[in-house]
């Protein structure tokens, strides 16, 4: 999930661990069981080149920062009962390397990347600009 934001930050244990203090993108990255190397490359390039900033610009066009937060709950399933299941979300041992690889690929493409802390109890603050929020699926 991608949001166009005016600013965003992630706090863990009362300490800001990742922030962007200017317009850019806040990415909530969920990983499922069948995500592979080709998905890493596709996802990073899509985030970097997606024209969702003001004046139909992309982060690559204007050098906008990107804050990436791991978010297994994106694959929660709440269709039955009152308690969601997380069966579609890949376990940490699978998803953490994918999260790290997407961040690294964004950096390789030239992005300024800030990060949350994988698996931590995070507080995310942001001001959505627009609002613009998109869900990317390959």
Instruction: Convert the pLDDT of each residue in 47-103 to its tens digit.
Output: 999 999 999 999 999 999 999 999 999 999 999 999 999 999 999 999 999 999 999
> For residue 42, what are its two tokens?
């596709």
How does DSSP assign the chain, residue by residue?
A: -EEEEEEEEEEETTEEEEEE-SSEEEEEE--BTT--HHHHHHHHHHHHH---BGGGB-HHHHT--EEEEE-GGGG-B-SSSSS-B-TTBPPHHHHHHHHHHHHHHHHHHT--EEE--TTS--EEEEEEEEEEEE----
Q: Is 71 annotated in the active site?
A: yes
The CATH classification number of 2-134 equals 3.50.80.10
pTM surpassing 0.85?
yes
Q: Is 73 annotated in the active site?
A: yes
Query: Which of 3, 11, 73, 118 is labelled catalytic?
Result: 73
Mean pLDDT of the chain: 96
Distances (CA, A) of 86 to 40, 76, 78, 91: 21, 5, 9, 9
Give the residue extent of every domain in the chain.
2-134
Percentage of the chain beyond pLDDT 90 is 97
Query: Which of 43, 72, 85, 133 is labelled catalytic?
Result: 72
């Amino acid at each position: 999930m991608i949001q166009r934001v005016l600013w965003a930050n992630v706090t863990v244990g009362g300490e800001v661990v990742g922030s962007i203090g200017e317009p850019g993108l806040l990415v909530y990255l969920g990983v499922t069981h069948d995500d592979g190397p080709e998905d890493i490359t596709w996802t990073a390039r899509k985030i970097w080149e997606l024209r969702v900033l003001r004046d139909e610009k992309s982060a690559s066009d204007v050098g906008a920062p990107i804050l990436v937060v791991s978010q297994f709950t994106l694959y929660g399933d709440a269709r039955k009962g009152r308690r969601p299941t997380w069966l579609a979300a890949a376990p940490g041992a699978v998803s953490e390397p994918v999260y790290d690889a997407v961040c690294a690929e964004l950096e390789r493409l030239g992005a300024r990347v800030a990060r949350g802390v994988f698996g931590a109890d995070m507080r995310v603050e942001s001001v959505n600009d627009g609002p613009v929020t998109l869900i990317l699926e390959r």
